[in-house]
Structure 1
Amino acid sequence: MSTFAFLVHPRADVSHDLARVWSPLGAVPSGALEWGLRHLPVPPLTLGTVSRPDEDGVAGWLVVVPVGARQMLHEDRRWVLGKVESAVDLAVSLGADVVGLGALTAPVTAGGRLLRERPGVTLTNGNAFTAQLTAQAVRRLVGQMDRPHVAVLGATGSVGSCVVALLADDLDLGELTLVARRRHRLAELAEQVRSTRPGLPVHESTEIDAVRDADLVVVLTSSTDALLRSEHLKPGAVVLDDTQPRNTDPALTVERPDVLVVDGGLADVRGLDVRADIGLPRGYAYACLCETMLMAFDGCTTPAVGDATVAHARRMQDAADRFSHLGFGLAEPLSFGQPLAAGPWSAHELVGL
């Protein structure tokens, strides 16, 4: 059996996340920790392991890149890449055959394309299975609506463009709004959807305000700060947030009780023994981690870097079906990390679709 390693890093709250590595770090202000990570020779660390009940030994490792989320996006790119490269080196030294890029380690390395090749090591950014599970979650939510207006924020990104392609064939929509920064790529994507779904109103915009009329907003951006706020959402809107660090404002839970925010990109992995605190309830894992595991379990040696493709997303779904005794299905929905309360959008109602 091939083994894997998956790279993680501290997200918005560096102190809180590094406390998962060593609890006393939780008492140190995040600003001080970010200074230390930038100026001290902090090596990559092993956070924990993953094991399978049907195989002996360790199936994979979780490796911490000692770089905060804001540093990932705003510090010198060569320094950031060097830190990610060192973490990949640690993964290889542990014996990993497949290495996955978690959270912002994927976008800052251009989906893995900027990392050097290592003989015998397969790299994945995990975006294809993330897109696959996101498309499944959209279908689950749309099942509660009548021909809704769906908006995709970050539509031209690696995950976003694949999600749009997966949904364009069969989703019964009233309208589709695509929002992204790259105007040229946005126009191309919108035209592709129009050719696939003639008659479907497809809108395109570079401004986040364009989601204001949407019934369902899918968030697939890469940022260190909350982007989607109360003023961007119509009454009763539903948000599927598939970002790490989170790109929806936590204040929505107080300011907009009419809005439902569902955490995206989460799979059920109750058949695996994940011995690490990854910031999720036990039995949950991020889809990008799951793609890394599936590629190792399935013996896939073709790198999955750059933009996610529909073909690879479907291959990962086939692998998920083969290893379904370990999990890899769409997890019961959470909202800001907590199970949904009883009501019309309860976890029970959504899972039953």
Structure 2
Amino acid sequence: MIPTLFPDRHPIAFLVHPRSNVAADLGGIFRPLGWVPNRVYDAALRRVAFPSPVTGSFRHADQPERPAGWLITVPLTPRELLGGGRRVQRIIGQAVDRAGKLGARTVGLGALTAPATAGGAALRHRADIGVTNGNAFTAAVTLLGAQRLLAGLPADATIALVGATGSVGACLTRLLAARTAHPLLLVARNELRLNALRDSLPAGRSEATTDMRRVREADLVILLTSAEDAVLRSEHLKPGAVVLDDTQPRNTRPELLVERPDVRIVDGGLVSVPGVQRRGFIGLPHGVAYACLAETLLLGLSGHQGHYSLGSPRPEQAEHLLTLAAQAGHLGFTLAPTHSFGRLVEPDHQPDGASFTPVPSPAGVRA
């Protein structure tokens, strides 16, 4: 008998959007849509204000008779979302309206809908529904994924965080500074924000640079950028480097593995949720979810009221979600087995340390 926990749970909605290959993603929802050329979709989505359709749903194994939430697809391309503007804000706002009408009490911002709304800050005025950008749990899950990879790297391995000043990046940087002793190389385009992040850490804990060529010094590269296409190239990686790609749409390409067969590329921010029954396409196998979606589901399970993670999340928000995930262990909510470009690359089991329990800081490292 599966225990019934979280008596104050409420339904959620999660916003997604077509990725760079619009036809492929829409074909995952309804196969004939995949036959339409991408250029047709690009032109139509730019010119026509389509409503945001419901393209999936969720139920929890411990209460399968109740809806746990819905997937809502925002009809915007990555390029439009990155460009922002009033039209983008209006369409995302209408998708949030749709979530509220369905009965959702919390809405999660998937992929580029988060940066398009300044990490959800542009929706702070919404008093009718709670909003979260999913970045707190993404930072927490990426931390655990990095710790798993570091176990196979040299004890003095350098970690490069590309996109360190972003919403996920800044939170993850602080978590890594507290929970590991590894040298940190912070990489971003805005030098002022980069130096401010470096200076907020203990003295000598990290270096900061705007030069992508310095990423070649790192053993583990954590990619946290928001871009339409690949930003990491083969010349940026040292021999035998490991890349943890935490981007959606992803900022690495499979061709990189052909150019550099010595390099490993691992998908970041993936959570195993066997107790969450999903209908609808998100580009992942059933039983696996992005951490931003898992955050939204956890907030719905716990009955959280109001907004949660807007703008840049705090490390304590990430820690709180780790606690909620441990409490929801009967539904899964554990670190997913290692995937690369959506494919399982290790046996389907949870390695030691994969569950969401607090990982102590090493001796001499300040939490």
Alignment TM-score > 0.5, same fold: yes
The one of 26, 37, 40 equivalent to 1:32 is 40
Matched, 1:279 2:283: yes
Go from structure 1 to structure 2 and tell me whether the alpha carbon gap of 1:3 and 1:72 turns closer, same or farther (over 3 Å shift). Answer: same
Structure 1 residue ranges (4+ consecutive) displaced by more than 4 angstroms after TM superposition: 346-350
TM alignment of 1:1-353, pairs within 5 A: 1-55=9-63, 56-74=65-83, 77-115=85-123, 117-146=125-154, 147-173=156-182, 175-195=183-203, 198=204, 200=205, 202-303=206-307, 304-340=309-345, 346=346, 351-352=351-352
* Contact 2:123–2:131 (CA under 8 A) maintained in structure 1: no
Distance change in 2, residues 1:117/1:20 (3 Å): farther
Helix, strand or coil at the partner of 2:123: coil
Counterpart CA distance in 1 for 2:40 and 2:229 is 19
Structure 1 gap ranges (5+) = 341-345
**TM-score calculated relative to the size of structure 2:** 0.90
Change (3 A) 1:292 1:350: closer
**3-state SS of paired residue (1:166):** helix
- What amino acid is aligned across from residue 122 of structure 2 in structure 1? L
Cα distance change on mapping 1:80 and 1:20 into 2, 3 Å = same
CA apart distance, 1:157: 0.6
What do residues 193-212 of structure 1 show as CA deviations (whole Å, max 9, x unaligned)?
A: 233xx5x4x22111221201
CA RMSD of aligned residues (A): 1.5
How far apart are 1:336 and its partner, in Å? 0.8
Measured after TM superposition, the shift of residue 305 of structure 1 is 0.8
- The whole-number CA distance in structure 1 between the counterparts of 2:50 and 2:289 is 27
Whether the aligned pair in 2 keeps the contact of 1:124 and 1:292 (CA below 8 Å) is yes
Native 8 Å contact 2:336 2:350 kept in 1? no
Alpha-carbon distance in 2 for matches of 1:322, 1:266: 18
Q: Distance in 2 between matches of 1:188 and 1:350?
A: 37
User: For structure 1, which segment, 21-30 or 128-137, has the greater mean C-alpha deviation from structure 2 after superposition?
Assistant: 21-30
Partners of 1:204 and 1:129 lie apart in 2 by 24
Query: Matches of 2:109 and 2:352 in 1, distance apart?
Result: 32
**How far has the Cα of 1:254 moved from its partner?**
1.0
Q: Structure 2: 5+ residue runs without aligned partners?
A: 1-8, 354-367
Letter of the 2:227 counterpart: S
Say whether the 8 Å CA contact 1:141–1:350 is kept in structure 2. no
In the superposition, relative to structure 1, how do residues 258 and 349 fare at CA in structure 2: closer, same or farther (>3 Å)?
A: farther
Secondary structure at 2:179 match in 1: coil
Q: Cα deviation per residue 1:108-156 (whole Å; 9 max; x = unaligned)?
A: 1001111263334110000000000000111111111122011000001
Name whichever of 92-101 and 298-307 sits farther off: 298-307
| Matches of 2:303 and 2:33, distance apart in 1 | 38
The answer for the alignment partner of 1:343 in structure 2 is none
Q: Which amino acid aligns with 2:271?
A: A
Amino acid corresponding to residue 11 of structure 1 in structure 2? R
- In the superposition, the TM-score normalised over structure 1's length comes to 0.93
Residues 129, 306 of structure 2: 8 Å contact kept: no
- Structure 1 residue 249 displacement after superposition: 2.5
Separation in structure 2 between the aligned mates of residue 114 and residue 120 of structure 1, nearest angstrom: 14
Once the two structures are TM-superposed, the CA of residue 172 in structure 1 deviates from its matched residue by 2.7
Task: Give me the whole-angstrom Cα distance separating, in 2, the residues matched to 1:158 and 1:245.
Answer: 16
Partner deviation per Cα, 1:271-321 (whole Å, 9 max, x = no partner): 110111210112110000000010111111241211011111111111101
What SS does the corresponding residue of 1:267 show, helix, strand or coil?
A: strand
Cα distance in 2 for residues equivalent to 1:44 and 1:302 = 23
**Separation in 1 of the partners of 2:349 and 2:270?**
17
